[in-house]
Amino acid sequence: MSTKTKTRHIDIYDTTLRDGAQREGISLSLDDKLKITRLLDDLGVAYIEGGWPGSNPKDATYFERVRSLDLKHAKIAAFGMTCRVGTEPADDENIRMLVDSGAPVVTVVGKTSLLHVTEVLRTTPDENLRIIRASLAYLKAQGREVIYDAEHFFDGYKLDAVYALETLRAALDGGAELLALCDTNGGAMPWEVEQIVCEVAAALPAGTRLGIHTHNDGELGVANTLAAVRTGHVDHVQGTINGYGERCGNANLCTVVPNLELKMGCACLPEGKLKELARISYAVSETANLAPDDHMAYVGKSAFAHKGGMHVAAIRRNVDSYQHIDPARVGNEMRILVSDLSGRGNMVSKAEEFGLDVSSDEARRVLKEIKALENQGFVFESADASVAMMMKRMRADYRPVFRPIDFMVVVELREGRGIFAEATVKVEVNGEEMHTAAGGNGPVHALDKALRRALVPHYPQVADFQLADYKVRILDGANGTASKTRVLIDTQNGHHRWSTVGASTNIIEASWRALVDSVEYGLVNCKE
């Protein structure tokens, strides 16, 4: 694991609220944007690009509302374009809205590539240079910190390096305090980025500050960002939380930042803030109403999850043997998974995780049962609570808090009332047989209610258990409606959440097995 001494400071410029919000499937409300702003400030980024005030009323309102936030670390930046061809900045509505936003920082994007100058702007190279210079000079005169985003820079440089450099000089003449070189189409290669950044630094006046803004269309957004920083000429990095962005996304700050801090010796966030990264990543995905990417490097739920028996055996001897960093450094945690690929070490580690004293013989028996059940369609790597209950039931001294006897479910279509489901459940609790019935809007709902009704008189805490998620997976679709199904149930009680699994060709039986495990696990943990 890296223990490099941090020698360089890199400013982190977050554009989740603007570039990230352009991802397909994201639609942030004003309150969402303000919430994410607070999260990013908690993380300690240097800049938060709040949006484009000239593009829509929501972004304009954001800049009014964000002034009331007591931000501790970040400067708010407003984003916009150079003035229109043939106009002056003072007469351009987009420029005026940048000023009216009240943002202390303005980031202006301009054309670098002759292709875009002639085919998109439909203007001359000289006029493009004029609007870059004039727009930045006007905003600088308004007392703003001005950042220039050189759009399509790497493509433009490869097309005509002389003109691409002229656009940067025009931005410097206009008062830009930093030039962000953009790989807008996301097609550059790391060695190209490294070479071009070095050539740009050599061609511009000493002391010119450079930044990097990459997209991920070649799955190289992070690599290209690190390549730019590696040159020693870049001290400003732009990207988004979770890599959100248009098309394939932007450089993922949840990967860029820990790589810079832990592997390249750079300081990006205030001391101690890196351990907030996993929490911020999850919170932003929840706010954006997107499922977290479990397999994301550093912050994903699976980033430090170990499944193979050989890996787990090694980790039990030395935790660094299959981990490149201590997950706690980014706010994550190591997880040991249990499946048909597991060895005895997985079971012992899982027992220790649950605070259980499971002997090697017991671990072998549980492992054998798990492998047999996974062959039938169960999957335990996402159902830790089911594994815990198997371990507990394997102990000679374990006494179940209740014993399921039987159940029956009836589903019928009633005229005028639609679909109706009713379940009857019989369980033994403390030597007493409880026989209850309940209706529901579906068979699983009815089963859940009937089971709770039977148990609440003996275990009132069951009333606090909430079904948080219910997933069904068809395992062998070729058999049609006779296919085997797998059911995963997530249950929560306050801040505690646990997962259980069931599998059967009968979806009701699969649900019942997962449901019984869920309730029993919750009761056992409440008792203990």
Closest CA to 323 of 368, 23, 331, 315: 315
At position 398, the amino acid (one-letter code) is Y
| Residue 334 DSSP SS3 | coil
**pTM, to two decimals:** 0.71
Structure confidence by residue, pLDDT tens digits, 51-77: 999 777 888 899 999 999 999 999 999
Structure confidence by residue, pLDDT tens digits, 144-186: 999 999 999 999 999 999 999 999 999 999 999 999 999 999 9
Query: Where would I find the beta strands (DSSP E) of 256-374?
Result: 266-267, 305-306, 335-336
Query: In the block, which residue shows the tokens 């005028």?
Result: 416
Q: Give, for 137, the enclosing helix (H) or strand (E).
A: helix 125-141
Segment 367-378 shows an average pLDDT of 58
How many angstroms separate the Cα of 237 from the Cα of each of 221, 253, 280, 443?
Answer: 11, 9, 18, 53
Closest CA to 87 of 32, 135, 150: 135
Residue 522 pLDDT exceeds 50 = yes
pLDDT score recorded for residue 341: 45
Tally of CB atoms within 10 A around 219 = 10
At position 342, the amino acid (one-letter code) is S
pLDDT grade for 528, boundaries at 50, 70 and 90:
very low
pLDDT grade for 347, boundaries at 50, 70 and 90:
very low
Query: Taking a C-beta distance cutoff of 8 angstroms, is the pair 489, 461 a contact?
Result: no
- Domains, the chain: 8-287 (3.20.20.70), 305-394 (no CATH), 403-527 (3.30.160.270)
Helix axes 507-527, 443-455, angle to 10 degrees: 30
Q: What gap in Å lies between CA 471 and CA 203, rounded to an integer? A: 58
Query: In the block, which residue shows the tokens 């060895």?
Result: 343
Residue 437 pLDDT exceeds 50 = yes
In sequence order, what are the beta bridge partners of 48? 14, 76
Query: Where would I find the beta strands (DSSP E) of 374-431?
Result: 403-414, 418-429
Query: In the block, which residue shows the tokens 């169960």?
Result: 378
Rg (CA), the chain: 29
At position 283, the amino acid (one-letter code) is A
Segment 369-391 shows an average pLDDT of 61
Query: Taking a C-beta distance cutoff of 8 angstroms, is the pair 148, 136 a contact?
Result: yes
| Distant-in-sequence, close-in-space partners of 289: CB < 8 Å, separation ≥ 6 | 26
Q: What gap in Å lies between CA 230 and CA 224, rounded to an integer? A: 10
